[in-house]
Amino acid sequence: MKTQCSFYFLVSWFLLFLFGCNAGPDLTSSLSNSLTNTTSTSPDKTLPHDDDGKLHVEGRYIKNESGDVVVLRGVNIADPEHLNVKTWERPNVSAMSVTKDAVENFHAKVIRLPIHPGSASYPNEGFFGVNGGVKYINDHVKPLVDYLTGLKIYTIIDLHYVEDWSGKMPKVAAFWNIVAPIFKDNPYVIYEVYNEPIYPDDWDLWKSEIAQPAVNLIRGYAPENLIIVGGPLWSAHMAGALANPIVGKNIVYTAHIYSNQWPNAISKNFGQAIEQLPFFVTEWGFETGGTEGGSRSVYGIPFAQWMADHQFSWTVWCFDTQWGPRMFDSTWQLLTGDGGEGTLVQDLLLEN
């Protein structure tokens, strides 16, 4: 026994030396400490929801049936059809394998599925493509939802328009008339009405023409599920929601906040709405040299701390090798250093 114990001691010492000496400074230590020091209103990090999964909105918080604040932290994956069908873009992966990796190896508690509507330029792709509708959902979405629900992990189904919203209500209605009833009895499914409406930049008009009618439509099928509502200018101009909120229960607003808005534009774009309404940050992230830019030290760590201070749930963009800001390079290695979000997001998710 003595020899065996000595061997284990030497191995342990070697591993500590090997990894400890190469770890570098722990830039997230203060953030991790703040996340682990919970109060009576902080989420239970090991059991973020009740066994039946039902969530509701109370004030500016998402809560479970016991009245505990719930903070969900997870990732966006790429469009599941892209992952399953466009194998030349990301060889040897599928929507399921990527989702399992996010859950099993990164401890994501919520997965956002950006469902691309498709376009006239690519008639074979997207929800409104030739293989769209119910077939799209059954082939690419339902298997993921079933897997996640079995693990009591939440799915956000996001109609992933990134374009002007005027005149889009027929398409929005067509999407939710198919999707909402399929998952209406699943409390682990959260609906996100419209990813990023851009122009017109008018909250009141957006609410009356798209957001409120879409919420009413979804509620006709799914009376209890959380519904996430964005707003004009890429879901960044949300200040109007405070004076003119969406009518209905269990409504959560979204904020898409990248480094170009942090921190100076928060007050202008969100006003007091960000302090008084329930928010779920369904997109954030950084990649130095990428379209969104940003860095770990200037944006990533302080922004993550800000979300923790506000007890905001979030899904980072993006658990992918191509859609940036990315967590991984083209070989599925985590992007590291001050310019890569991969290791920071990994650290944050492993706190789940």
Q: Per-residue DSSP letters for 233-290?
A: HHHT--GGGTTSPPSSSSEEEEEE--TTTTTTTHHHHHTTHHHHS-EEEEE---BTTS
Q: Above pLDDT 90, what percent of the chain?
A: 79
Q: Is residue 292's pLDDT more than 90?
A: no
Q: Is residue 305's pLDDT more than 70?
A: yes
Q: Is residue 7's pLDDT more than 60?
A: no
Q: Is residue 88's pLDDT more than 90?
A: yes
How many residues does this entry show for the chain?
352
DSSP secondary structure letter of residue 154:
E
Average pLDDT over residues 93-105: 99
Give the pLDDT band (50/70/90) at residue 45.
Answer: very low
Give the pLDDT band (50/70/90) at residue 51.
Answer: low
SS3 category, 310: helix
96-103 CB contacts, 8 Å cutoff, 24+ apart: 96/143, 96/144, 96/147, 98/319, 98/320, 99/144, 99/147, 99/148, 100/147, 101/319, 102/74, 102/75, 102/77, 102/319, 103/148, 103/151, 103/153
Q: Which CATH architecture has domain 27-349?
A: Alpha-Beta Barrel (3.20)
Task: Say how far apart CA 144 and CA 189 lie, in whole Å.
Answer: 11
Domain layout of the chain by residue ranges: 27-349
Average pLDDT over residues 72-90: 97
Q: Is 222 exposed, middle or buried (0-12, 13-18, 19+ CB in 10 A)?
A: buried
User: pLDDT of 231-283, one tens digit each?
Assistant: 999 999 999 999 999 999 999 999 999 998 889 889 889 999 999 999 999 99
Average pLDDT over residues 317-323: 98
Q: Is residue 46's pLDDT more than 80?
A: no
Q: Which of 45-59, 110-124, 135-149 has the lowest mean pLDDT?
A: 45-59
Q: Omega before 5 cis (within 30°)?
A: no
Give the pLDDT band (50/70/90) at residue 15.
Answer: very low
How far from 207 is each of 202, 220, 228, 269, 297, CA to CA, in Å?
9, 18, 13, 17, 36
**pLDDT value of position 342:** 98
Q: Is residue 122's pLDDT more than 80?
A: yes
Give the pLDDT band (50/70/90) at residue 83.
Answer: very high
**pLDDT value of position 36:** 31
User: pLDDT of 152-185, one tens digit each?
Assistant: 999 999 999 999 999 999 999 999 999 999 999 9
**pLDDT value of position 190:** 99
